[in-house]
Structure 1
């Protein structure tokens, strides 16, 4: 392949495809995330390789893997994307950020327990700014963030989320959301929620049927990991991702579950008992907000991040006591 010329230039859209291939690992998954065909992804990567003058992929069995040159290019791609975001933020700052539109992507319980209060406050703070909300979780949420389809991502740390060291994003931790055990009101252990003996060990529920979200979802993944750490694999009878449906099934005696405190007040009418866990730190998940690196200076995006942080810090859902029936 030709050496890089003195008039070196590359198509930023093709660079974005390479970044997505690095994230997803295969042409098929990259194509699915970008709504392209695998052939189109391959053509974009080949065209980028011609522009760069270096090979970017090599055969790996029936798939492909990135070359060392591709990883060098990716390191610069993150810096290029961040600088473009800084440019956009500087232009937005010139107009004082008093108007515009922002799309916030968030996981379901973040939308339920965090966004309503933040959106009300933002409506008073920035009345000329339109804020749209879409429900999404990693990795799709961060694919949308990279593509500019989402401006602010509210997510939970789990295996599908980017690591703290990912330089493509500027992130701020919002809160630690504790998960409590939910059992039917008539469950033999429900009395623990009404006495002074504290929480229960998760392993005491090893023989109960469980209600758990899909494995790819943040809470589904966390519940499976927490049970594994407690020394058992949960007997999953019902797979649901909606918290209202989950709490209704618990109330109906169909199983036990973990429910985050962020959404517990919404289901206070359910006849279920909530118990803390004993024998160590309670199960929890870290909730954070992220924007594209370089865009944090945008006054509107900064206001949205700041309001999310303030709402999380003052959220009454995190201050409620555990150990009672709801």
Structure 2
């Protein structure tokens, strides 16, 4: 008989590729992970892993058992969800949020939850969408708030389901004294953008290239609040979503981009746990908080 906790270790190894990364994700020592996987291999009676340089590569048997492990974990999660529906609030909800959602949506959502589900524990971590979605598949989180930029669709991962929270306009952000009128006027400016590999960076680069120039990216900063300060100080220009303003008036000059683009803000959860009472309650609160903010902040004026 296979133990579910050992099957999870194999599932994690299939996702992450190294014992060290599995150990870090689950807060175990690499030696503990190795011992448990060795025992799983004995239970299976066939080789599951072979050394491949500094990594372990799954054998054909290992790949097959890892696929079964994923299904077993999904089934266990479904069972837990059914049990929780009989006694709501028995399990906390772990949520990964992107920075702008943490600032603009989360406080009101948590206030709504406190009134609706006072016994529900919600644990929050600010995590980039790319990392959050990966960790959602790996069961590091129960729910993720992520973004999708126009023309840059994120991969749909088996076993994850999405719900749209709403759309968030994206605009050019300029220093208050900068009198540029359109994107093509900014070819000679210093730019601030998110680090390479992010959807926001890729999208912003494409907008500049479509306008006929390669931007001079002098500042690579993930923290959008820091980006705002650089722009307000006159040191750079950038592309920012409206959620970054939360409840403050923009200290920068905003210009509409061609086509008035918006990014989609969505939540993602594992299909096997999406019906859990706690996850459903958090999603509903986020949806209502986003709608309330859209009503109060609709139509930022541009200059």
TM-based fold match above 0.5: yes
- In 2, are the aligned partners of 1:276 and 1:322 still within 8 Å (CA)? no
Q: Secondary structure at the match of 1:74?
A: helix
Question: What aligned pairs does 1:6-45 form with structure 2 within 5 A after superposition?
Answer: 9-36=1-28, 40-45=32-37
User: Once superposed, what is the RMSD of the aligned Cα atoms?
Assistant: 3.3
Question: What aligned pairs does 1:137-156 form with structure 2 within 5 A after superposition?
Answer: 137-138=128-129, 140-142=131-133, 145=136, 150-156=141-147
**Matched residue, 1:249:** 230
Distance 2:35 2:130 in 1: 23
**Structure 2 unmatched runs, 5+:** none
> Shift in Å at residue 296 of structure 1?
2.0
Distance 1:90 1:290 in 2: 20
> Shift in Å at residue 120 of structure 1?
1.8
Match for 2:69 among 74, 77, 81? 77
Q: Secondary structure at the match of 1:177?
A: strand
Q: Secondary structure at the match of 2:47?
A: coil
Question: What aligned pairs does 1:304-323 form with structure 2 within 5 A after superposition?
Answer: 304-316=282-294, 320-321=298-299
Distance 2:185 2:8 in 1: 48
2:79 maps to 1:87: yes
Change beyond 3 A, Cα 1:156–1:42? farther
Question: What aligned pairs does 1:129-208 form with structure 2 within 5 A after superposition?
Answer: 129-138=120-129, 140-142=131-133, 145=136, 150-157=141-148, 163-167=155-159, 169-189=160-180, 192=181, 200-201=182-183, 203-208=184-189
> Shift in Å at residue 322 of structure 1?
5.1
- In 2, are the aligned partners of 1:99 and 1:126 still within 8 Å (CA)? no
Match for 1:285 among 250, 263, 287? 263
- In 1, are the aligned partners of 2:104 and 2:243 still within 8 Å (CA)? yes
- In 2, are the aligned partners of 1:261 and 1:317 still within 8 Å (CA)? no
Distance 2:39 2:213 in 1: 50
Distance 1:145 1:47 in 2: 27
> Shift in Å at residue 173 of structure 1?
2.4
**Matched residue, 1:4:** none
Question: What aligned pairs does 1:293-312 form with structure 2 within 5 A after superposition?
Answer: 293-312=271-290
TM-score using structure 1 length: 0.77
Match for 1:238 among 216, 219, 231? 219
TM-score using structure 2 length: 0.82
Distance 1:44 1:100 in 2: 26
Change beyond 3 A, Cα 1:153–1:265? closer
Aligned residues: 300
Deviates most, 251-260 or 47-56: 47-56
Distance 2:296 2:15 in 1: 33
Deviates most, 97-106 or 247-256: 97-106
Change beyond 3 A, Cα 1:252–1:52? same
